[in-house]
Chains A and B, each alone.
Chain A
Amino acid sequence: MLGLRDVTVRYGDTPAVDQVSLDLAPGHVLAVLGPSGCGKSTLLRAVAGLEPLSGGSISWAGADLAGVPTHKRGFALMFQDGQLFAHLTVARNVAYALRLRRTPSARVAARVRELLALVGLSGYGDRLPGTLSGGERQRVALARALAVEPRLILLDEPLSALDATLRERLAGDLREILQKAGTTALLVTHDHEEAFALADRLAVMRSGRLVQDGAIDEVWRRPVDEETALFLGYARVLREDAARRVLAAAGLPGAPAVALRRSALVVDASGTLRAAVESARVTPEQVRLLVRADGIGVLDAVAPLGTRVSPGDEVTVRTDATRLSVLPVAAHP
């Protein structure tokens, strides 16, 4: 298993990665989530052996990897844009690592067929990378990375170069492929959707530091502070009095800060909060509202499709306790 202890990478005087410690057990997929420039890609490159450490250590199964060059680590790295070798055909790209190991050509051919089938690109073997679409290229890059069954696969924003529909489809495929192959994976991304779609563990990074890590649903339910909550897709953070009023409406004990998802408030006659509608917008699944509640301020709320509300209307809203998260007190900035 992969172990990071106080890993630090500096560019000149500025630390890009600052004392990060992480563990990743075999068979798990860990997503390192953070805004761009937070040092997550540097962390990934450090694990791959492409960035020298200024401090700390990276180990695999207890053995320190310091001094082990990239090509001897047995970690496959998949770049954001695939980085296929443009002068080699798809089959030659996939077979690249196998040929390096002087695998007999019959076995190579069989394995390439198998991998291309796994990523859903059977029959693409003779094409050149230049003729493929972005999604196809990413699949080939994945097949190439999986060819020699790496101990760990490192994914650098594997889906972000793709358009929305393709991203969703490939995310599902990717997860299935990783599970089927039983591969341990470390992926970095700035997109929480991508992290949720692929990973079972989550680590949140900010300004080079690790701010939270754990099982993905745990992190998602209990963000450690306001910034993390907003980054994980929470819509709003309430404090003090406003927080207490919303929590009281949900039947929960008071707390100094609470993060709300957009669907934490639902228009419902049985609700206990009264609010005035500021705006309403219809989406394919529900009506999204902005409402103003007394003593709280403007909040997001949802209503079932077909609800007829217009700005100025008075409504009652119910609070869904599963869609809010009490933040620790220390989170106050």
Chain B
Amino acid sequence: MRRVAGLLALAAGPVLVLGVLFVLPVTGMVAQGFVVDGRFAPGAVLDVLARPRVHRVAWFTVWTSATATLLALGLGLPAAYALHRLALPGRAAVRAALLVPFVLPTVVVGVAFRQLLGEGGPLGFLGLDQTPAAIVCGLVFFNVAVVVRTVGVAWEALDPRPGQAAAALGASPWQVLRTVTLPSLRPAIVGAASVVFLFCATAFGIVHTLGGVRHATVETEIYLLTTTVFDLQAAAALSVLQIVVVVVLLALAARLRATPDPTAQRAVTPARAPRRADVPVVVATALVLAAMALPILTLVLGSLSVGEGWGLDNYRALGTAGDDRALLVPVTTALVTSLRTAVDATWMALLVGVLVSVVVTRRSHSVGERRVRSALDGFFMLPLGVSAVTLGFGFLITLDQPPLDLRDSPLLVPMAQALVALPLVVRTLTPVLGGIDDRQRQAAASLGASAWRTLLTVDLPVVWKPMLAAGGFAFAASLGEFGATSFLARDESPTLPVVIFRLIGHPGEMNYGMALAASVVLASATAVVMLAVERLRVPGVGAF
């Protein structure tokens, strides 16, 4: 009982933070739909769910997400094998490069794909611009990294001996893959698939920039309903639908995620030299890499093209507010705002994330304690899948009166971004902390170390690198955050993604060129951060 109380005391801070900054806004947003004139009226919400347009939007969300998930798996699995099991030259750099799309700002991805598929783009002849296919491509581009990471890390830790035992029993390489390797990887594959589906189904920036007005998913529809149509009831109904689906999926993913067994050695199998039989996998990986590089390359070339020739004019223009006064502030100012906001968001996410990770990974002594821990674990994962649009709008309508009047606080945007980054931090740190054998702490304690000293000798040496990596990851994610920020950022201090979106929506060739240049700058900033993170060689970053 004492332990449970202690646990709750330690968890109180993060729970309070998440309660005020997440649960309150989201319920506030949802309540808009259910409470009409001060009375609870769920009937109207149910009516919304019966609308044909809602059915169409929901179906579109499901099928694009499912298709994108399958494609991401199909492209990601061979790459996961090649990059985590084969000793290919330069594989560390390739692994880092493949992680970049995942933290690339969604707006940038959208711009890059429009540049690639639009009229005059290198693939413009395919006529895919503003089609569902373009959206699926964008989603796949964004999520292949998740599959490569999640499955690759599991594959790396897979003991090769059962496979060798199977081979000695007469199983061909293909049969070994089918009967031994894939069953062992199933938790990782299903986990990756469910997370990717989640990301696809709640993607906002990509769909918003690529889908135009013709194609809407649940997420963009919520945005449309709240900002343009002001049909809050319908928006709330869709939010609820989304939350239910997300919770179910997260619960499923949590069940399938293998909890690390601290007594088992987490050995990483040394990569082996590629053989002739590996050629198809290596070729497939090279193709994936090329496909990933194409949109980025188009983006960079686009940003450098001026009229008929090449030049840095678009970059020079970043010091201005754009043609026809598209913006209130120069793009450079927005970049500074972005960096400052991301720094704030990072320390907040780390502070809360470390506390959460410690709370959920400490060994439980009773069933009750374990239940509390796993409930907390699930609770802190929620921001991963709940619509950033819902969150952003919820912030606006609930945190607007004393004592919680944060509308004018400069910390409002960082707080929202920290919430979005929190699950990434927790997911990076929990496997590391959970992987520490509790007997190490007991040994330290039995040698006379205090609780604080134990933390310093046992936990800190293992966790400091992952903490840095998680920080970098959170920083990159905040830098590119668009969904919630687009609601909360004030017009006179927008972040870079917000500015980019405004620039592509504003007519004028110069504005579009500036959007491309700004996208390159933003992409470079996140890429640099991610490369630094990759250098820390923390295996869990980007794996779910």
Contacts and interface: CB of A to CB of B under 8 A. Distances in A.
Question: Could you say which interface size class chain B belongs to?
Answer: 10 to 19
Given A85-B180, A87-B183, A100-B175, A71 B162 contact: no
Contacts of B166: 71, 85, 96
Given A83-B161, A87-B184, A101 B167 contact: no
Contacts of A69: 167, 172-173
B167 A71 contact: yes
Contacts of B167: 49-50, 69-71
Contacts of B184: 86-87
Given A71-B170, A71-B171, A100-B175, A77 B180 contact: no
A312 interface: no
A48 B167 CA distance: 9
Contact of A70 (B159, B164, B183): B164
Interface residues of A, number: 29
A245 interface: no
Contacts of A187: none
Contacts of B164: 48, 50, 70, 77, 83
A246 interface: no
Contacts of B180: 85
A79 B165 contact: yes
A32 B168 CA distance: 19
Nearest to B184: A87
Interface string A60-76: 00000000011111111
Interface centre among B161, B162, B165, B173 (most CB of A within 10 A): B165
Contact of A148 (B162, B169, B179): B169
B168 A96 contact: no
A97 interface: yes
Majority DSSP secondary structure for residues of B touching A: helix
A54 B443 CA distance: 45
Interface centre among A49, A83, A87 (most CB of B within 10 A): A83
A69 B170 CA distance: 10
Contacts of A100: 169-171, 175, 179
A75 B179 contact: no
Interface string B180-195: 1001100000000000
A154 interface: yes
B169 A97 contact: yes
Contacts of A258: none
Given A96-B179, A100-B175, A83 B162 contact: yes
Interface centre among B167, B170, B173 (most CB of A within 10 A): B170
A86 B180 CA distance: 9
A48 B168 contact: yes
Contacts of A83: 159, 161-162, 164-165
A48 B165 CA distance: 10
B165 to A, nearest CB: 4
Contacts of A154: 168
Nearest to B172: A71
Contacts of B171: 71, 96-97, 100
Contacts of A171: none
A77 B170 contact: no
A190 interface: no
A144 interface: yes
Given A85-B180, A87-B183, A100-B175, A145 B161 contact: no
Contacts of A147: 169
Given A85-B180, A87-B184, A101 B170 contact: yes
Interface centre among A71, A101, A141, A145 (most CB of B within 10 A): A71
Nearest to B186: A87
A85 B167 CA distance: 13
Interface string B394-430: 0000000000000000000000000000000000000
Contacts of B173: 69, 71
A84 B161 CA distance: 10
Contacts of B162: 83-85
Nearest to B277: A69
Contacts of A70: 164, 167-168
B492 to A, nearest CB: 59
A144 B169 contact: yes
Interface in A72-122: 72-79, 83-87, 96-97, 100-101
Interface string A136-150: 000001001101100
A309 B161 CA distance: 54
A147 B161 CA distance: 19
A302 to B, nearest CB: 42
Nearest to B160: A50
A48 B164 CA distance: 9
A79 B179 CA distance: 18
Contacts of A49: 167
Contacts of A144: 169
Interface in A119-162: 141, 144-145, 147-148, 154
A156 B176 CA distance: 21
Contact of A77 (B168, B172, B183): B168
Nearest to A148: B170
B455 to A, nearest CB: 33
Contacts of A145: 168-169
A85 B168 CA distance: 13
Interface centre among B165, B168, B173, B175 (most CB of A within 10 A): B168
Interface string A14-51: 00000000000000000000000000000000001110
Interface in A143-193: 144-145, 147-148, 154
Nearest to A45: B164
A83 B175 CA distance: 17
A115 to B, nearest CB: 13
Given A85-B162, A87-B184, A76 B168 contact: yes
A101 B167 CA distance: 13
A31 B168 CA distance: 19
B152 to A, nearest CB: 21
A92 to B, nearest CB: 10
A77 B165 contact: yes
A148 to B, nearest CB: 7
A72 B173 CA distance: 11
A210 to B, nearest CB: 23
B387 to A, nearest CB: 37
Nearest to A50: B164
Contacts of B165: 77-79, 83, 141
Contact of B169 (A50, A76, A86, A87): A76
A96 B161 contact: no
A90 to B, nearest CB: 15
B503 to A, nearest CB: 53
A91 B361 CA distance: 36
Interface in A232-261: none
B168 A75 contact: yes
Interface string B144-165: 0000000000000001011011
Contacts of A73: 168
A79 B161 contact: yes
A213 B167 CA distance: 29
A70 B170 CA distance: 7
Interface centre among B169, B176, B179 (most CB of A within 10 A): B169
Contacts of A48: 164, 168
A151 B441 CA distance: 50
The 3 closest A-B pairs by CB, nearest first: A77-B168, A97-B169, A70-B167
9 contacts: A71-B166, A71-B171, A78-B165, A85-B162, A86-B184, A96-B169, A100-B170, A141-B165, A145-B168
Given A70-B168, A77-B164, A144-B169, 15 more contacts: A48-B164, A48-B168, A69-B167, A69-B172, A71-B172, A72-B170, A76-B169, A77-B165, A83-B162, A83-B165, A85-B166, A85-B180, A96-B171, A145-B168, A148-B170
